[in-house]
Structure 1
């Protein structure tokens, strides 16, 4: 599992939010974003000391506020800085360092194969490729076939990412990319059990059934309670609204349910409402 993206400068300052995002469980990789090699290296060392099992460098986030800070996929435009960041972090820590990137900045700059080879040469141990350019953001479809070009350039593991929403997607993505594994992101919105299903499928070729209605409710309630504990009641209720929207998207009456919970602020009332909805829908 990989943590939420943590800003490297905030990590050095040890802000409450950055420390919370970098809390580690067994086998947790902490994902760092930034544009200054020395700061990225220092942040990586801090996370290693806190127990991170690996460090994942984010060269793929397309969000405007991240790119405007010359981080995330902005680094696809500057291979010199990207290389210095990878070199600095690899030298700073003993745990494995991985990197996630996009195909390139745009269709005229598809430099992921080149940057992947550089990454391998400086000691990066795994690369994840999202099959879109930054200019695409999340529009169109992920190009899994492009990932094969990266796979053919390096000997280290390559992971395919983008539009992995079902077990069938996993099969096609692996076949088209030749990748060593898949990374699931937005595909798990509203169905976090997809990750367990994917692991079982890839390890044992076993297709786990969809959770029953009661099992789904138990998962949703666990998620709800954990989020309130993690974020606090006020912020937790607000953050959970989008998750309840994803969970309910395939249910009859979902629009009315969302309209109700999106105006509710009492966490007890929200919990009662979501329990009622998922039990009776």
Structure 2
């Protein structure tokens, strides 16, 4: 069947489904979620190297006053090693968000993702993120404006609803499909739930049954086995990993192997992990510069330690260091002590 211009799922000769978003066919069904303060260029490159089939930038505001700031410049920075340049934007005014989409495409965005899932109060107070789920008519206006404004594929990320009494993800999904959205990601929680409780896979399954565009399941995917079971239960076309990737970028390799080939890949050796962590921290120093890089590095090291030596006091030691090179030296000495311990 020839490509029709809409996002859909293709079957390969081996029977493994491949997801297509617009003219882009993803290399697999495992995606990295956009996360503010986390999915910068260095982290996207790292996750892509370990198998993420698509990575998203940090959320960009549609407020024109911040488009040309240093913070926005860093968030928009892309490298071909991170794969397709997918940029997420958030806003509430249909014309403003359409203009922001156009500007991001001019800057090199190949996919525009609209955020209607962020539960943060500072975002919701501006009637952006998941707050929009309360107003389906406004959702439609925004989606239609953006789709008509750009020539690249437009995707949407939502939650299951604003609260448990108003779960309207099926309604929003139908609006998205009718508006020309080419893939839909659903975080299986309401805005009210924040990140508490268990993800609502039943609701993701219900959406998948009602629309023909690719549906991407998000929420609580922290292992290859969980990713496989979510795909099978919901019928979703892909999974999106967010918090599960923090300090654990090699998770994508494990998920890809189990989901795509049915084989289990063991975690990297301690030596490989240590080498990757050092490279990641060094890349953060280079990307952000000395004044900011060492601060950004602290949270990533804390996440890495959770998977290597969670009871260690090294986190406090590391957080007291204010020189990038000293951070690298301290990390290397710490890893050597673990190897020799």
What TM-score bracket applies, with the shorter chain setting the length?
over 0.9
- Structure 1 unaligned spans of 5+: none
Q: TM-score, with normalisation over the residues of structure 1?
A: 0.95
User: Residues 248 and 307 of structure 2 are in contact (CA less than 8 Å); yes or no, is this contact kept in structure 1?
Assistant: no
Shift of 1:254: 4.2
- 2:238 maps to 181
Q: TM-score, with normalisation over the residues of structure 2?
A: 0.79
- Structure 2 unaligned spans of 5+: 1-54
Shift of 1:212: 0.9
Please tell me whether residue 234 in structure 1 is matched to residue 291 in structure 2.
yes
- 2:211 maps to 154
Where 2:197 maps in the other structure, the secondary structure is coil
Map 1:95-244 onto structure 2 (within 5 A): 95-244=152-301
Where 2:267 maps in the other structure, the secondary structure is coil
* Aligned Cα root-mean-square deviation (Å): 1.6
The count of aligned residue pairs is 281
Q: Which residue of 15, 22, 37 maps to 2:76?
A: 22
Where 1:131 maps in the other structure, the secondary structure is strand
Where 1:108 maps in the other structure, the secondary structure is coil
Where 1:3 maps in the other structure, the secondary structure is coil
Structure number with greater CO (CA < 8 Å, separation at least 6) is: 2
Q: What are the Cα deviations for residues 195-219 of structure 1, in whole angstroms up to 9, with x where unaligned?
A: 2332333333343221111110111
Q: Which residue of 50, 57, 77 maps to 1:3?
A: 57
Could you tell me how far apart the structure 1 residues matched to 2:65 and 2:335 are?
39
User: Residues 12 and 39 of structure 1 are in contact (CA less than 8 Å); yes or no, is this contact kept in structure 2?
Assistant: no
Q: What are the Cα deviations for residues 70-123 of structure 1, in whole angstroms up to 9, with x where unaligned?
A: 111111111122211111110011111000000001001101110000000010
Could you tell me how far apart the structure 1 residues matched to 2:311 and 2:325 are?
20
